[in-house]
Structure 1
Amino acid sequence: MGIKSFQGARKHQQAGEEIPLKVSDYMTTKLITFKPDQSVEEVIDSLINNKISGGPVVNDKNELVGIISEGDCIKHISDSRYYNMPMDDDRIENRMVKNVETIDGNMNIFDAANKFLNEKRRRFPIVEAGKLVGQISQKDILKATMKLKSQNWKK
């Protein structure tokens, strides 16, 4: 009895056909962003209505100044209850993470996947020439791998 291969049929790559493997090929460029002077309540409303878990905070020049997440908003709610402070007083610049780690748009998506695992982040902004140009999320990495699943990943 011969050995059977359980590997499915693969699409053959045309000579010269390039498989996109860079973060910039899969990043989201139409971002919902926030301004530092917005209230936490506005952010919560936007997160719920847009079904997102967080987003970049930019200044008027579209420069990344922070990131705000559901967790940051929940902490604000918890603190406001604990300290008996009104919620509508707080601006997100007081709640956002200011030291934001970014990712290079030219990074290979597999290296990016590894960075997600090591850094335990849900999203990484992509900045070029000081301006926010996109964001890559764990879900974007999953979508990329699904697009590539029939390709040869040894690149």
Structure 2
Amino acid sequence: MLVKDVMTSTIVSVSPDNSVRQAAMTMLSHHISGIPVIDGEGHLLGIISEGDLIRRTELGGAMFASAEDLAAPAEDRANAYVRRSSWRVAEAMTPAPVTIDEDASLLQAARLMQKHGVKRIPVIRHGELVGIVSRADLLQAIVTAKLDGTPSGDEAIQRSVMVRLRENTGLEAFDIKIAVTNGIVHLSGAVAIPECRRAARIVAESVQGVQGVVDHFT
């Protein structure tokens, strides 16, 4: 599946000249935790999210400065003050956000979210914002995912399991024997590591047509 298959294409946005209060109200009314900031020409300028607002002055953010905060350079402390105190979205948002192309895979989206510690990523088509992909969208993709469309039949199941055992599963070095009878997959071979035995079972279970898995590992 690609990002464009799961993204939210109805975009709720705010202007850089909107107030932080208005941005917070928009998030609450639409039950979202972050929204893109777009200028009058439709250019993506940044994102403002719950993470940008949790240290706001309205919440007493300046009262909880850590020793690390106080030791930061004056420029960084001044920027932090502006972000937590300015009423304008433009100065409270996270500028130049990470983006992703609509034809990227869900795996790429998940890796970007993990790498940058973000919950949502603006989706771009030819440089224009066309949607937002969020962690919730990835969860929905997991819920609606179908089992592999392998043709039915014991021989086909055996071939499919064999191929998938070698697809970055950690099992590539093991000589695992596979036998299938009436949809029941029998796995055997010298595999002493519990995690590897578990991974082999899950590989077999993920193939369409499998009725059960029996572990004969030694």
TM-score by length of 1: 0.74
Gaps spanning 5+ residues in structure 2: where? Answer: 64-81, 151-163, 165-218
Could you give the per-residue CA deviations for residues 37-92 of structure 1, whole angstroms, max 9, x where no partner exists? Answer: 00011111111121110110001121101100112122233587639x9x996101
Q: Distance in 1 between the 2:61 and 2:145 partners? A: 47
Q: Which residue in the other structure is 1:13 paired with? A: none
Q: Which residue of 2 aligns with 1:31?
A: 11
User: What is the aligned counterpart of 1:47 among 19, 23, 27?
Assistant: 27
Rg (Cα) greater in structure: 2
Distance of 2:100 and 2:125 partners within structure 1:
10
- Answering whether residue 96 of structure 2 is matched by residue 116 of structure 1, we say no
Pairs aligned (count):
133
In structure 2, how many angstroms separate the alpha carbons of the residues matched to 1:145 and 1:81? 37
Matched residue, 1:9: none
Measured at CA, do residues 71 and 78 of structure 1 come closer, stay the same or move farther in structure 2, by a change above 3 Å?
farther
User: Secondary structure of the equivalent of 1:75?
Assistant: coil
Q: What percentage of aligned pairs have identical amino acids?
A: 30
Instruction: Spell out structure 1 runs of 4+ moving beyond 4 A.
Output: 78-81
State the match for 1:56 in structure 2.
36
1:4-36 CA distances to partner (integer Å, 9 max, x unpaired)? xxxxxxxxxxxxxxxxx1101111010110100
Using a 3 Å threshold, how does the CA distance of structure 1 residues 95 and 151 change in structure 2: closer, same or farther? Answer: same
Work out the CA distance in 1 between the residues paired with 2:103 and 2:6.
Answer: 11
Q: Secondary structure at the match of 2:101?
A: coil
Q: In 2, Cα distance between the equivalents of 1:76 and 1:105?
A: 33
1:102 paired to 2:127: no
What do residues 102-130 of structure 1 show as CA deviations (whole Å, max 9, x unaligned)?
A: 01111111232222222221000012233
Query: Which protein, 1 or 2, shows the higher relative CO under an 8 Å CA cutoff with sep ≥ 6?
Result: 1
Q: Separation in 1 of the partners of 2:47 and 2:24? A: 13
So what's the TM-score if we normalise by structure 2?
A: 0.54
- Matching residue's letter, 2:44: L
How far, CA to CA, are the matches of 1:32 and 1:75 in structure 2?
23
Give the superposition deviation at 1:152.
Answer: 5.0
CA contact (8 A) 2:54 2:61 kept: no
Is the Cα contact below 8 Å between 1:26 and 1:140 reproduced in 2?
yes
Structure richer in helix, relative to its length: 2
User: 2:87 and 2:133 mapped to 1: Cα distance?
Assistant: 28
Tell me the CA shift for residue 143 of structure 1: 0.7
Give 5+ residue unaligned stretches, structure 1: 1-20
Moved more, 49-58 or 110-119: 110-119
